[in-house]
């Protein structure tokens, strides 16, 4: 009996010894953790605006396109016809300073040809005729350079003038013959042209003309003066 108790006690002690040892043993240290290695710094990525789903940008304006329709430029051609009043006078110094005058209705016929060195300005040469009505009526002609200007290159107002050789033909009662005198003359006109096509325009015009002439033929001494004002229609290609 005593032996059995000793054996039982020994077995109990043997069973309790590992647990007690486990309780008394110091706790095991946790495994060492390797220090974290810092990642290399990366350059900052610039912010990029995301592409729009719809392109709303507009192209820059190009250079202005000059207007070429209904612009007074380039080749210039004007023809005019009108009716008005014509007055002429002359002095026959050879035959006692006899003075004569003649007046009445007249017809004006103009032809101007030239070009435009700049838009709205025309230069060239012209022939302006003023025949007086009637068999014995006088005739005046002006031949020379002209200028015609348009304040607005797209509109119809124009103002022009001419100067040059003046030729006057008239009936001299003292000499009982028709005489001709040459000198200097000039003309001015103003009008408005209405566009009827890309380059053609037609409109009313008022024109005044005057000249001072002398008969330089051998044995003659006649001085003459002529002036006229006419209202007419003018057509221009420019």
198-226 pLDDT, tens per residue?
A: 899 999 999 999 999 998 676 678 889 99
10 Å Cβ neighbour count for 97? 9
Asked whether the predicted pLDDT for residue 5 surpasses 60, the reply is no
Q: What is the mean pLDDT of the chain?
A: 82
Question: Taking the CA atoms of the chain, what radius of gyration do you get in angstroms?
Answer: 56
- The owner of tokens 């230069």 is 123
Select from 65, 180, 175, 163 the least CA-distant residue to 123. Answer: 163
Predicted TM-score of the model (pTM): 0.69
Read off the pLDDT band of 66 (50, 70, 90).
Answer: low
| Dist CA 114 CA 27 (whole Å) | 121
Q: Retrieve residue 26's tokens.
A: 């110091």
Give the residue with greater pLDDT, 99 vs 149: 149
- CA 187, 181, 216 angle in degrees (round to 5)? 135
* Residue 100 pLDDT: 83
* Residue 98 pLDDT: 80
Per-residue pLDDT, averaged over 137-161, amounts to: 95
């Amino acid at each position: 009996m005593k032996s059995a108790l000793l054996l039982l006690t020994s077995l109990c002690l043997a069973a309790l010894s590992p647990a007690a040892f486990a309780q008394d043993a110091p706790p095991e240290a946790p495994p060492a953790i390797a220090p974290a290695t810092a990642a290399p710094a990366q350059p900052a990525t610039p912010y990029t605006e995301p592409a729009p789903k719809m392109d709303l940008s507009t192209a820059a304006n190009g250079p202005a396109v000059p207007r070429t329709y209904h612009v007074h430029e380039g080749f210039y051609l004007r023809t005019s016809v009108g009716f008005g009043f014509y007055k002429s006078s002359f002095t026959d110094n050879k035959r006692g300073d006899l003075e004569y005058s003649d007046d009445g209705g007249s017809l004006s016929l103009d032809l101007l040809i030239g070009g435009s060195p700049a838009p709205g300005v025309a230069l060239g040469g012209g022939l302006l005729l003023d025949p007086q009505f009637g068999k014995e009526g006088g005739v005046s002609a002006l031949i020379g350079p002209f200028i015609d200007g348009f304040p607005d290159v797209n509109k119809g107002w124009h103002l022009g003038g001419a100067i040059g050789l003046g030729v006057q033909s008239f009936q001299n009662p003292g000499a009982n013959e028709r005489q001709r005198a040459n000198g200097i003359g000039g003309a001015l006109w103003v009008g408005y042209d209405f566009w009827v096509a890309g380059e053609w325009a037609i409109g009313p015009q008022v024109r005044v003309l005057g000249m001072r002439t002398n008969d330089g033929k051998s044995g003659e001494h006649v001085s003459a003066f002529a002036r006229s004002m006419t209202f007419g229609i003018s057509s221009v290609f420019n």
